[in-house]
Amino acid sequence: MDVGAKRILVTGGAGFLGSFLCERLVESGHEVLCLDNYFTGRRAKIAHLLDRPNFEVMRHDVCFPTHVEVDEIYNLACPASPVHYQHDPVQTTKTSVLGAINMLGLAKRTGAKLLHASTSEVYGDPAVHPQPEDYWGNVNPIGPRSCYDEGKRCAETLVFDYRRQHGMPVKVMRIFNTYGPRMNLDDGRVVSNFVVAALRGEPLQIHGGGKQTRSFCFVDDLIDGMIALMATPPDICGPINLGNPSEITVRSLAETVMRLTGGRSELRDTPALADDPRQRRPDIARAQKLLGWEPRVPLEQGLARTIEYFRRVLGNA
């Protein structure tokens, strides 16, 4: 192993974000262990890394302990789109909570630094806009999205309690909507839904009128922020919002996708989804100050690269 290289565990490493993170860490010369149970992750996303001598894959569920020796842990494992996390809500909560317990236990045993991937969903349907990290959120604890929202909130509690109780070096990032190549065709998130529908000539489903807002961060920018947070001194633990503060309505996003794809699909209004946030935009002042980070890829540029990826996937399907 190169001098300065670390042994790094990435849970959920065959997922959308995880595969880009593994790729970046491998290219930087680190020894990377990708752990995934392939519920939403896909081996194809990491296929180009399999012959690299500093990359290893383990099929494993974070709900069960794992015994490895590592210097850093990126805990990304959890289905992140409503379609997938509502498929088995009990398992989703287990993945967030038991996964955090097991990775924190591993970090405590090995002395590894741990970065936990949380979510903007901890803010729920926010009454404060944009959302700063000191906002406690407005979350329905018994709704259809609660398995994910409350599971992630509980995981954050565990991370900070391990820090307080054991003095562990931990980090928490709250990820806002992220998009890019390698999203699953059936991902269920709005960017992939719209792009795939437009390319197939199918109606784009606009839930609840489309006036709700989102802020979309391209995957390359998100990975930059994630690695920058892991590299910070022990006293910087977060939580830190990572996302793009540029806000757009869901209907405007659909219209932009149609224009960029050259599609002629119908924009079809459908009923609102339960507990769907009306607005979502990160306050990234903390990330700017502590990480020197902010997103660089404009939405249309990122969408063009995402559309190009899905054209290839659909052309080979």
- Distance CA(155)–CA(174), nearest Å, equals 12
- From the candidates 74, 123, 148, 179, which is the catalytic residue? 148
Give catalytic status of residue 74 as yes or no: no
Active site residues: 148
